[in-house]
A and B are shown apart, each in its own frame.
Chain A
């Protein structure tokens, strides 16, 4: 072995181990002039490039469409919104930098963050700077912060009714698969709690998988061996998509039902096609071609190729709720807008009416059960609730009573 070979070995090993840490930093300065009279600056921070762009791009599209929609309808307080669109490049370090910039900017509101890790990196920054912040994607629940509004779904709005429905169908032997980070881990402990409540038994798992895992060959026989009649999948991301493919390839999907609160978040139903047939999820809204709601109309008119994701729906609802609250308050002042949002401002979103629970700052939204038809779309099975409440958060968090509460509760 010559020297260059040895260097290559060392270099390759170093690369292989640090590949996931690799990142490029970059900053762009696109602040809006504070004196520009007839406009209101707002900021969005999302993962628009890099591994998380699979979630971020649809949310970015929804952000732009929302701003356009609001502006076309006369803006807010007669002023046009001007969006500063920041890309965190799937890197938490960028989030912190961009959030610090946004916190000291004149933006009236900041929306963004996708993974829970990124949210927890930036939420304290906005809290400290008194900069109103919205988080608009499904998550593990529990955030309690006067300065933050959560438009995404929580486990007891989504996972709980999904599992209650499954138990009511007589499916009581559950096998749990989960992504190995805080969303998967916290949600998995919720599954255990819901199993106890519904008289179901966890016959296998929770098995945790790093996001880079893409081979599930050894897990499939374990599930088969466990005698499970229901697989609860808390899997996330393109690597984990392979579980559904590898499971379907064995033909076992005929005998076992899969429910997944995270399914559809990254347009899994499109990627899987026939391999996804029969998988069930719970969301307020899933896209179908030709739907006549405002979001689908805007989406189709803009000619966006990727489908509407649940994160895009939450983002659309959040911007419209914020705009309605500003109209109601007559100002963009944080405390007045917060009061308006707590006062029950509602928006008639693509799936129905959405409002914020004043006590927890979490969205109260309609929740439906959907089933993958194998054609790239989910079909409505039934409406589970027309106003799903964040009950766990309500049991721990009361921002009306105690505005100084600032933490994330876990089960």
Chain B
């Protein structure tokens, strides 16, 4: 054990520490991109969208399809976000709308949607993986090579959280959304159209998922079942983040992403997986409301 700890310490202190720091940042940014949409509807409306991973997957497929037809990546990502937007509006109007405050029913319904999405994509596009070649080259961090595109991912994750913070805190829509989240009946009584707010909130969340799919498509093997590969981590981060998702989700992404990358680097990849789950379980056990329970300001 001592030897292993020494190994971990050496890793942290040497120049590879800088490299590890960057990897943690990149991993957390990826997690944050994947989480934000889910966190938004969970924190504001208590909706657990089990089809979130499939929204991301559909975003990926949109980007891959557009990209393979020669559309530049920027527009392919925009297309992916649009797919999310359309799906979000349709799904909210048809399904989610009837299931607010019915948590278990909603989970079951969205799980059904996820199964349908996976099978439809398998039938239409086949079951083998596809993808987009990673754009840009590489650069060096502390003597280690990193993909330049990962900088873009980090930048976009930060931009998205800032944008969502701005929308929720500084706009009329954000004000109404928080009102509906706190007490939808009272919000209705003072003239807020809670149905429109709900549709918009869910649409933003779905757009965010589609956007994440587009941005991450070059980094991921795109397949119909890809959602199941990351969805457990994403749910963990949302739960750990807690009610104030604008602050909590980035914190949780950094904590869990950092724990995973750090443990994987110091020991073995499996240690990272196990560590992430253990830390998530521990945090939820100690603070059932997640990291931001004490500072709930919805």
Which residues of A pack against B, CB within 8 Å?
1-2, 4-9, 11-13, 15-17, 19-20, 24, 49-51, 53-54, 56-58, 180, 207-210, 212-215, 217-222, 224-225, 238-242, 245-246, 248-252, 266-268, 270-275, 305-307
Contacts and interface: CB of A to CB of B under 8 A. Distances in A.
Interface string B260-289: 110011001110110001000100100011
Given A209-B269, A218-B269, A241 B131 contact: yes
Lowest 8 A-B CB distances belong to which pairs?
A241-B221, A249-B147, A250-B145, A271-B129, A251-B138, A238-B223, A53-B127, A16-B235
Contact of B228 (A51, A224, A268): A51
20 contacts: A4-B103, A6-B288, A12-B107, A13-B281, A13-B284, A16-B235, A17-B277, A54-B223, A212-B229, A212-B232, A214-B221, A215-B260, A238-B129, A241-B221, A242-B220, A245-B131, A249-B147, A249-B149, A267-B129, A273-B133
A246 B228 contact: no
Given A6-B288, A11-B103, A252-B138, 5 more contacts: A2-B46, A19-B228, A239-B229, A246-B219, A272-B131
B129 A266 contact: yes
A215 B229 CA distance: 10
B27 interface: yes
Most chain A CB inside 10 Å of its own CB: which residue of B122, B224, B232: B232
Contacts of A250: 138, 145-147
A15 B235 contact: yes
Contacts of B269: 207-210, 213, 218-219
Given A4-B101, A51-B225, A268 B129 contact: yes
B293 interface: yes
Contacts of A217: 23, 26-27, 150, 261
Interface in B104-148: 104, 107, 111, 115, 119, 122, 126-131, 133-134, 137-138, 144-148
B203 interface: no
Interface in B131-180: 131, 133-134, 137-138, 144-150
Interface string B211-250: 0000000111111111011111001101100010000000
Interface size, B (range): 35 or more
B31 to A, nearest CB: 9
Nearest to A48: B127
Given A4-B46, A8-B103, A249-B149, A214 B229 contact: yes
Contact of B129 (A54, A215, A221): A54
Task: Label chain B's interface by main secondary structure.
Answer: helix
Task: Label chain A's interface by main secondary structure.
Answer: helix
Interface of B: 16, 19-20, 23, 26-27, 30, 42, 46, 48, 50, 101, 103-104, 107, 111, 115, 119, 122, 126-131, 133-134, 137-138, 144-150, 218-226, 228-232, 235-236, 238-239, 243, 260-261, 264-265, 268-270, 272-273, 277, 281, 284, 288-289, 293
A305 B12 CA distance: 48
B133 A275 contact: yes
A249 B243 CA distance: 36
Given A8-B42, A12-B235, A218-B264, A53 B103 contact: no
B104 A306 contact: no
Nearest to A277: B133
Contacts of A54: 127-129, 223, 225
B131 A214 contact: no
A218 B133 contact: no
Contacts of B46: 2, 4-5, 8
B231 A11 contact: no
Contacts of B128: 54, 57-58, 266-267, 270-271, 306-307
Most chain B CB inside 10 Å of its own CB: which residue of A2, A51, A266, A267: A51
B20 A213 contact: no
A175 B86 CA distance: 45
Nearest to A251: B138
Most chain A CB inside 10 Å of its own CB: which residue of B222, B229, B265: B229
A375 to B, nearest CB: 11
Contact of B221 (A6, A57, A218, A238): A238
Contacts of B130: 270-271
A225 B7 CA distance: 14
B221 A245 contact: yes
B271 to A, nearest CB: 10
Most chain A CB inside 10 Å of its own CB: which residue of B101, B220, B230: B220
Nearest to A58: B128
B268 A208 contact: yes
Contacts of A20: 228, 232
Nearest to A305: B126
A190 B271 CA distance: 24
Nearest to B277: A17
A325 to B, nearest CB: 31
A245 B219 contact: yes
Contact of A208 (B122, B221, B270): B270
A220 B150 CA distance: 14
Given A15-B107, A246-B219, A1 B288 contact: yes
B147 A8 contact: no
A19 B27 contact: no
A54 B103 CA distance: 33
A53 B224 CA distance: 10
A53 B122 contact: yes
A215 B218 contact: no
Contacts of A19: 228, 231-232
Given A8-B46, A270-B130, A180 B219 contact: no
A245 B46 CA distance: 36
